[in-house]
A and B are shown apart, each in its own frame.
Chain A
Amino acid sequence: MKHVVKSILMVGLLLVVMAQIAAASERKVVIMTHDSFNASKEVIQKFEQQFDCRVDILRSGDAGEALNKAILTKSRPLADLFFGIDNTFLSRALSQDMFVPYVSKELEQIPDHLKLDPEFRLSPVDFGDVCLNYDIQWFKEQNLSPPMLLEDILKTEYKGLTVVQNPATSSPGLAFLLTTVSKFGESGYLKFWNDLKRNDVAITNGWKEAYWGQFSAASEGSRPIVVSYATSPAAEVFFSKETLAQSPTAAVIGQGSAFRQIEFAGILKGCQHLELAKKFMDFLLSTDFQEDIPLQMFVFPANSKAKLPEVFVKHSRITQKPASVPSDRISSQREHWINQWTELMLQ
């Protein structure tokens, strides 16, 4: 009995001490973000040295989960700044009244079409285009011309070649669904999906399962067309040991065939380090951080002054005419579109 009481006291004491250490008022700024966030050590250290503080990064699950955690904790925020809300979640995040407006001077360098919140509670940091990728080698071997446009994958010679993600569980999956809504209209997108279903499309729950499990260029898979990012071919080159001259994959970005995902960051209301958070927002938008984005997260920097790395210049292109759906429309219709899609494709 004595031992039990003793050990409980010890554990309790330990917890208190740990909490004390954690709460020790240290100069720091905390960033809450999703699991795909990445940055160079040197770049973050530069900020830490400049402002004599520590940068803590909370990776909190996938994009939807992270935002949900931020919403749940908005009365006692876990962080000072949230990074990683894309335009499909924008209206939802703004409706929660959880961000402080802040107009950074760096916003001057960012093209206006990326600025979707006129009050600047959320500022654009980067963007990526979700589109079809194909296996170049496969099409060469089969003597088949690769797809140029989205609707090409409905052709009979492309039967059974495509793998897409479930929009209910995957963010590129949702972006791809929105591409079809944008391209074929709210009255026509279901017909596209119906035809695609007849053309024997494969559906996975997440990007990993599609890319690593089914895509012929990346794995043992048998499908040469996959929904991924316009920057994936550049990543294929960058992450190959022998530095390939040409990427094994290519992206289909013509004429509204790619959906532009813009990622935003915002300062959380009620945060503990408001001044540092503002400084960090400036930093996120500055060329220092912006030039680090491509090779860390494989998306494009929002700042037009930021220089792209060579592998991006050579192996990726920015979509000239991206598909787009207004973010309040996405917010109000998201569940409806997903449910319609689920009913059609999964029943």
Chain B
Amino acid sequence: MDRTDASVGFGPVLAAGLIPFVFLGLFYCYPVISIFFKSFTDAGSWNGSSLIAVFTSKRMINILWFTCWQAGLSTMVTLIVGLPCAYFFSTYQFRFKQTLLTLSTIPFVLPTVVVAAAFQALIGDRGIIATPLFSHPLFMIIMAHVFYNFSVVLRIISGYWSQVSSTYADAARTLGAHPIQVFFRVHLPLIRPAILASALLVFMYCFCSFGVILILGGPKFSTIEVEIYRQAAHLFNLPMAAALSLVQIVFTFLLMWGYTRYQRKTAAPASDIQYVSKPCDRWYQKGSVLLCGCFIILFTGAPMIALFIKSIIHDGQVSLIYYRSLFDNPTHSLFYIHPVSAIKNSLIFSLVTLIIAGVVGMSSAYTIHYSPKKMASVLDPLFMLPLSTSAVTLGFGIIISLDRSIIDLRTSPALIPITHSIIAFPFVLRTVLPAIQSIPISLREASHVLGAGRFKTFMHVELPIIIKALTTGSVFAFTISLGEFGATVFTARPEYSTMPMAIFRFLGNPGHMNYGQAMAVSFLLMCMTGIGFVLIERVSGTHRGIF
């Protein structure tokens, strides 16, 4: 496929590339480079002593090491848990599949403070199923990471798996292969691209973990991201924060670069036909699907139910007082936000993010696809960098760089969806790129031969093929935006507050009412996420698919 697509010349690359280049250049590269420049220069001359300090301090080495191994372990556990579920989701037809999928994605949107509260209610010191093992901070960290990322593995792998022909597996079985053999020698190699893609996303997410480590891990555990925040916001050591940021960025780049190279070498042409999953007839098939469903409900549902219970129990009795009081502003606070407005703001920002991230993500996927190999292997990891850039670093970069009159957006509400999109578009890119690469060149050629222009071909041939991947990516972009607290930016007007901001406002003061209201808004946020998914999937028409 590279053969012909890459030979179309620089025209399409430039056309598709303009969007991500301008967007990222302005809102990501420029701010980040500015802050690095400021941090590493001392009265005009270069000073990189903090970079050396990172690699000579024992504490920093420990932090780097802990960051890597906790991310690796979290990724492994997430894969082990997610893979069997992805298998059942892609192989069998069953009722409530979509509901389960939606349920499993909701954690992705919850702010960490809320997840921490939910986990403490469930497995904390005085939680429902408390044991010393469960309440160990390390166990809590890994569980919270699995809880957050389970749906990334489930969605990406089951989406890909359902498009892999079952012919090979059937053939192997006919030839007498044991089911375990079939799994390891047929399925696993076939779905390897999806496993790698999802593992990479999960790894990077855990690698840059901030809230989970800070809150559930407690002060004894620190990742690079937490340390950046500590150095920048509390110790005022900007050079050290920048050095750590740079380490994080370089590490991600190398990781992504290796991944891209590997992926190109082993790219298995995915088939262009979609296989319909089969109904489960046998008792063991039904049993395993049931088990898988129960697991998802228990695992992702339990912390959420704990949260819901907290939001409706007041003084030992069931009560809606926390929900009702959301409509009052007893202190006449300037920063009070009516729940309806908070929901509206959250929705608007998330939808704008969905559109920006969708457009930027898709055009960057096309840029990579049409680029010559060498260029693509640099572009691909480059586009993924925003995912692993510290929010503090980016936030500081934005306020020192975007300050010229024409782009002085430092306090504009437009910055909210823009910064959300910077973090969210790599998800779109990762899901859309494999779909674009799977389009047989013959389809495009046929369309051109029949007289369709590039745009027409895109609308009628390519878009229908990639729409499902685009939807998956957009759902992630939407949820990322919904759950983002938006610590990187600030807006001048309290009336732009979103739901996560409201949660933080409540948790900032003592008093039972504040806590209960925070739980109530968290529950509303969860519901919103669920409704959002269903709507997006209906609008794009993918709910009828096998996904």
Question: Of all chain B residues, which has the CB nearest A248?
Answer: B512
Docked complex Cα distance between A69 and B488 (Å): 11
Q: How far is the CB of B457 from chain A (nearest CB, A)?
A: 13
Contact with B along A1-34 (1 / 0, CB 8 A): 1011101100000011011001100000010000
Docked complex Cα distance between A69 and B127 (Å): 39
A241 touches B408 (CB 8 A): no
Docked complex Cα distance between A106 and B314 (Å): 44
B510 touches A236 (CB 8 A): yes
B504 touches A57 (CB 8 A): no
Q: How far is the CB of A102 from chain B (nearest CB, A)?
A: 23
Contact with A along B397-423 (1 / 0, CB 8 A): 001100101111111101000000000
Chain B residues with Cβ below 8 Å from A68 are: 232-233, 236, 238, 396
* Stretch touching chain A among B116-124, B184-192, B291-299: B116-124
* Residues A73 and B215 in contact in the complex (CB < 8 Å), given A65-B392, A228-B510: no
A241 touches B219 (CB 8 A): no
B396 touches A78 (CB 8 A): no
Docked complex Cα distance between A166 and B396 (Å): 24
* Residues A64 and B234 in contact in the complex (CB < 8 Å), given A38-B334, A166-B219, A240-B513: yes
* Residues A239 and B220 in contact in the complex (CB < 8 Å), given A57-B494, A61-B487, A73-B400: no
The answer, yes or no, to whether B154 is at the interface (CB within 8 Å) is no
Q: Restricting to B105-128, which residues have a CB under 8 Å from any CB of A? A: 113, 116-117, 120-121, 124-127
Total count of chain A residues near the partner, CB < 8 A: 71
A41 touches B219 (CB 8 A): no
Partner of B230, one of A22, A42, A169: A169
B334 touches A220 (CB 8 A): no
Q: Restricting to B204-241, which residues have a CB under 8 Å from any CB of A? A: 214-215, 218-220, 229-230, 232-236, 238
Docked complex Cα distance between A222 and B127 (Å): 10
Q: Restricting to A45-63, which residues have a CB under 8 Å from any CB of B? A: 56-62
Chain A residues with Cβ below 8 Å from B116 are: 209, 213
* Stretch touching chain B among A107-115, A139-147, A198-206: A198-206
Docked complex Cα distance between A232 and B512 (Å): 12
Binding site for A on B (CB under 8 A): 11, 15-16, 18-19, 22, 38, 113, 116-117, 120-121, 124-127, 214-215, 218-220, 229-230, 232-236, 238, 314, 321, 325, 331-336, 359, 363, 392, 395-396, 399-400, 403, 405-412, 414, 454-455, 487, 490-494, 504, 507-515
Binding site for B on A (CB under 8 A): 1, 3-5, 7-8, 15-16, 18-19, 22-23, 30, 35-36, 38-42, 44, 56-62, 64-65, 68-69, 72-73, 76, 78, 92, 166, 168-169, 203-206, 208-209, 211-214, 218-222, 228, 232, 235-236, 238-241, 249, 295-296, 298, 335, 338, 345-346
